[in-house]
Amino acid sequence: MQLPDRYRTDLAAPSIVGGYGSVIPVHDTYLDRAVLFKTMHDPANNLQLTNEIRGLSKARSRHVVEIYDIVCDANGQVCGVVIEKLNGRDYRHFHLEALSDPQMYLRLIYQIATALRDLHEVGIVHRDIKLENIRESGSGILKLFDFGISCAGTGYHTRENRGSIVYAAPELYQPGVKINYSMDIYALGICCWALAANQFPQVLLERPPQQSGCAPSIDSIFKGAFPGEIVKLIDDCLSRSPQNRPSAQDISSKLERYLLRNLHRGIFVQGRTSIYELSSSSPQVSIAIPQMGEIKVFYDGLYFLIGFVTGNVFVNNVVAQPGATLPESCVLTFGAMTAGSSREWVTFQSSYPELVL
């Protein structure tokens, strides 16, 4: 097949030959950059390329490889795709570093989960999440690639599991199973183990997996390095029941909050002059309105929590409860409904810095 004139094959870089297609390093002479050209061995499999193009074009994520160009044959049929070349490291041997750098371990999981969140939000199921399909870009950002068997939406029924066996969720062994987002989450759970250890627990190698019992906790590797909430989040990815697996959104948001531990900031504003700040250096605030009510809020490094309440205090018109978490943005009302115009209001807004990867 003839590439457009703007592309020159990089003879110094080896091609990657897979079961269905090849990835050839080429140089884009227009933009003077190294890219990859992907083509299928058998034109009958060009539907996989179409899937990849659709998946990549819908996903707007810094954690998904970019598509640069589409190559068509003389009949206008898609026969190749030009994609971003990821020049950074792969993570197949990260398990050698995981125990000495648990924060980086969580950062990698966060980035995979964020990529899945962005895909799932636009209706894409990747279907082949594994360490071999994850690589670092030249700027140090983890990215997913290989969307050849991805599908749009969750209405597709598969007759065969075309993903990678050890990453396949238990339900994929059922005939005609309906593809859904939780299958990507199970594969993420397997990635969590692959990033942490050089071999999988035996129950994950069974076919279907976990027939003889549930997978052990990731805490068996990290020995208390993570709080219980994070351990449970990772462990639940491998739940045998799809409905018990967390969403990619949930995983991404909770890991982000943990990775930004002690960096959140909360501001209470009462009227035009009274301002109360919550942060790691000032972790507790009490606000009292005479004859109306009092509330104490503290910051535990992750959340802004209500400590105690006396009198009549409401959060977004709901009675404030000790132990509850304040929303990121809310209005506190002091005084019962019967107090009428004597009631007072305090606004709350929380913020946090961008997670630098």
CATH number at residue 56: 3.30.200.20
Residue 287 shares a structural domain with residue 197? no
Instruction: Supply the pLDDT for residue 165.
Output: 87
Q: Are 7 and 83 in contact (CB under 8 A)?
A: no
CATH number where 120 lies = 1.10.510.10
d(CA 303, CA 93): 34
Per-residue pLDDT at 164 exceeds 80: no
Instruction: Judge whether 282 lies within some domain.
Output: yes
3-state class of 220 per DSSP? Answer: helix
Give residue 82's Cα distance to chain centre: 25
Quick one: pLDDT at residue 245? 99
In the structure, what pLDDT confidence band is assigned to residue 140 with cuts at 50, 70 and 90?
very high
Are 56 and 153 in a shared domain? no
Residue 223: how many CB atoms within 10 A of its CB?
Answer: 8
Tell me what percent of the residues of the chain surpass a pLDDT of 90.
76
Distance CA 277, CA 266 (A): 6
| CA distance linking residue 240 with residue 211, whole number of Å | 9
pLDDT for the residue 160: 61
3-class DSSP assignment, residue 144: strand
- pLDDT reading at 47 higher than 80: no
How many Cβ atoms are within 10 Å of 283's Cβ, its own excluded? 15
Q: Does residue 239 sit within a domain?
A: yes
Q: Which of 260, 295, 319 is the last residue of a domain?
A: 260
Is there a domain that residue 220 lies in?
A: yes
Domain interval for residue 310: 265-351
Instruction: Report the chain's mean pLDDT, rounded to a whole number.
Output: 92
Q: Is the pLDDT of residue 86 over 70?
A: yes
In this structure, the answer to whether residues 147 and 286 fall within a common structural domain is: no
Same domain, 278 and 147: no
- Whether residue 213 sits in one domain with residue 347: no
B/e letters for 64-81, b = 16+ CB within 10 Å, e = fewer, are bbbbbbebeeeeeebbbb
272 and 247 housed in the same domain: no
Give domain status of residue 171, yes or no. Answer: yes
Choosing from 37, 53, 84, the residue where a domain stops is 84
Residue 57 has pLDDT above 90, yes or no: no
| Angle between helical axes of 181-196 and 102-121 (0-180°, round to 10) | 160
The residues pairing with 72 across neighbouring beta strands, listed in sequence order, are 78
> In this structure, is residue 96 part of a structural domain?
yes
Torsion angle, CA of 160/163/164/169, rounded to 10 degrees?
Answer: -80
Distance CA 148, CA 137 (A): 20
Q: Which residue has the higher pLDDT, 53 or 142?
A: 142
Q: Which residue has the higher pLDDT, 164 or 132?
A: 132
Same domain, 117 and 206: yes
Lookup: tokens for 236: 């639940």
Task: Classify 129 as helix, strand or coil.
Answer: coil
Q: Is residue 357 part of a domain?
A: no
- Rounded distance between C-alpha atoms, residue 163 and residue 151, angstroms: 12
Distances (CA, A) of 54 to 72, 151, 180, 199, 328: 15, 9, 18, 34, 35
Q: Out of 31, 58, 84, pick the residue that ends a domain.
A: 84
**122 in the same domain as 50:** no
Q: Which residues contact 240 (CB under 8 A, 6 or more apart)?
A: 170, 210, 214
- Backbone dihedral region for residue 60 (phi beyond 0: left; psi -120 to 50: alpha; all else: beta): beta
8 A C-beta contact, residue 110 and residue 191: no
> In angstroms, rounded to a whole number, what is the distance separating the alpha carbons of residues 278 and 295?
14
Residue 130's nearest CA partner among 103, 102, 149 is 149
pTM of the complete model = 0.89
Tell me: do 256 and 333 sit in the same domain: no
pLDDT of 329 strictly over 90: yes
Instruction: Report the pLDDT averaged over residues 171-196.
Output: 95
149 and 244 inside one domain: yes
| Residue whose structure tokens are 């990507």 | 184
Q: Which residue has the higher pLDDT, 77 or 291?
A: 291
- Residue 342 has, within 13 A of its CA and on its CB side, a CA count of 11
* Helical segments of the chain, H only: 46-58, 95-98, 102-121, 181-196, 202-205, 219-222, 228-236, 248-259
Structural domains of the chain, count: 3
Domain assignment present for residue 120? The answer is: yes
234 found inside a domain? yes
256 and 165 both lie in a single domain:
yes
Residue 254 and residue 282 in one domain: no
